[in-house]
Structure 1
Amino acid sequence: MKKLLQSDFMQTLIATIIVGYLKFCYATTTWRVEGQDAVEAIWDGKGPVVLMFWHGRLHLGHASWPRDRGQPVCVLASMSKSGDVSVKINTRFGYHSIRGSSAKKSDPTKQKGGAGAFRELIRWIRGDKETGGRCVAMTPDGPRGPSRVMTEGSLKLSQISQAPMVVLGQSTKTYLEFNTWDRMRVPLPFTKGAMVWGVLPPVPADTDEAALEALRLEAEQALTAVTDRADALLGLNASLTS
């Protein structure tokens, strides 16, 4: 059974079902949006950008970034078998994938997949003369947590590429919540949703480690704030989701 579930056929089938279900949920959700003006300027600017949302809201992220207007998106997928499914899901949503785990707080190169994955992210986000900059979408508390504790990887990526950081909070009124470390949510169809954007400036190139830690805490708080705001817009109790 394990070999069957890990087969390419089953992984493709699982990815197809998940994508079909999520697209149905997104299409039947009535969205309320806040803070989009600032991120629209980033879409129009066509420069590099780091997009961040918490791991527990991963299944809402695909509903956010417009393929016809925003920068091309790359997602960091783990080297595990579940990462194989993630790559298939990302591909069906039109996103590029780079394999490797989220960076450790102390060193963004010490991740599964090694320094090569981080270098690939740098190359991707810088883009080229034809496409301009690109977007890297990250869950900065993944893949194993702690929940809502941001690693430095996203900030290092911003510092090296001089890309602004976009924090995104999303929520739906009805959802399934799993008893996992991140309290992963899966949306249900025919519901109300909220999407709250925030934009943080690029991390200055000359930022030292002490200043980087302060910026990490600020970004962590900003991402939690927009996520809690999305819950509040739908009348959900933020204290139950933190």
Structure 2
Amino acid sequence: MIKRLGRHPWVLSGVGTLLAAYLKLVNRTNRFVLDPEGIYDETEPHLPVIVAMWHGQHFMVPFAKPAHWPAKVMISRSADGEVNAIAARKLGLGLIRASGGRNARQIRKRGGMRGFIEALRALKDGYTIAMTADIPKGPARKSGVGIVQLAKHSGRPILPVAVATSRSIELNSWDKASVNLPFGRGGIAVGELIRVPVEAGDDELEIFRQQVEDSLNTVTTRAYELVGRAEKSVT
């Protein structure tokens, strides 16, 4: 009964609304710095882009983008995803309800192909797409190939982004999620654009997948450095 209650639309809506309000509080009460400075001005001519982030480090990313960038975020269709989707909508983001998987069956079950097509259309229409690079319930901090495939078929570059705050609670979840706390300092670290050629084969896609993974790890480490702390190990 508790599980059913927890999945009730009213409960999910209430939790999502509270989450959005809490994240706004965290954003207002932390002093954020951007590294490198001026990176968004340099990125403007290359819009729209595919913003890459890690699971568990995604809560504050909606505040990292410039307000004038129209954006949609890819969120799973799970109950947890529903809460995140409600919060994202409250924060002014468009939604694509899908996620990847480790095999074809998981991809079909999670709406991965439909989400991929919807993301292609959104990029064509000028929306920046934000998505986690790692696969839900998969190895933490290991990029999947889906984000690289999206870059290849859309012709849009990948922009690695990480956000950290000086105060946070680290959860014992599969992705070692970091719950950011108010009244501190924040760091936003942005990596260089990663472009995937449309003619890239499987071997090249693996190289770009590794590049996304390495870049996300680098910007995540940098985001924590900006707030004067070391990132807790996820291994």
Length-normalised TM-score, structure 1: 0.89
Shift of 1:29: 0.2
Which position in structure 1 is the counterpart of 2:111? 113
Task: State the Cα deviation string for residues 132-185 of structure 1 (Å, max 9, x = none).
Answer: x21110111142131110001111111111111110121111101100111101
Q: Which residue of 2 aligns with 1:15?
A: 16
Percent sequence identity over aligned pairs? 28
Identify if the C-alpha distance between structure 1 residues 237 and 31 changes in structure 2 by more than 3 Å, giving closer, same or farther.
Answer: same
Aligned partners of 1:124, 1:156: CA distance in 2, in Å? Answer: 15
Maintained 8 Å contact 1:104/1:110: no
* Amino acid in the other structure paired with 2:42: A
Structure 1 match to 2:92: 94
CA positional deviation for 1:108: 10
Residue deviations 1:172-228 (CA, integer Å, cap 9, x gap): 111011001111011111001111111223201111111111111111101100100
CA distance in 2, matches of 1:40, 1:162: 20
1:217 has 2:217 as partner: no
Report the Cα offset of residue 40 of structure 1. Answer: 2.3
**AA at the equivalent of 2:206:** E
Q: Which amino acid aligns with 1:87?
A: A
Q: 1:202 to 1:123 in 2, by over 3 A?
A: same
Note closer, same or farther for the CA distance 1:204–1:106 as it changes in structure 2 (3 Å cut). Answer: farther
> C-alpha distance in 2, partners of 1:58/1:201?
19
Q: Is the 8 A contact 2:101 2:136 kept in 1?
A: no
- Where do residues 30-179 of structure 1 align in structure 2 (5 Å cutoff)? 30-42=31-43, 44-45=44-45, 47-67=47-67, 69-70=68-69, 72-104=70-102, 110=108, 112-127=110-125, 133-179=126-172
Kept after mapping to 1: 8 A contact 2:141/2:213: yes
Q: Residues 86 and 122 from structure 1, CA distance in 2 versus in 1: closer, same or farther, beyond 3 angstroms?
A: same
The amino acid of 1:35's aligned partner reads: P
CA distance in 2, matches of 1:108, 1:38: 36
TM-score, scaled to structure 2:
0.91
The residue that corresponds to 2:180 in the other structure is 187
Whether the aligned pair in 2 keeps the contact of 1:48 and 1:125 (CA below 8 Å) is yes
Aligned length: 234
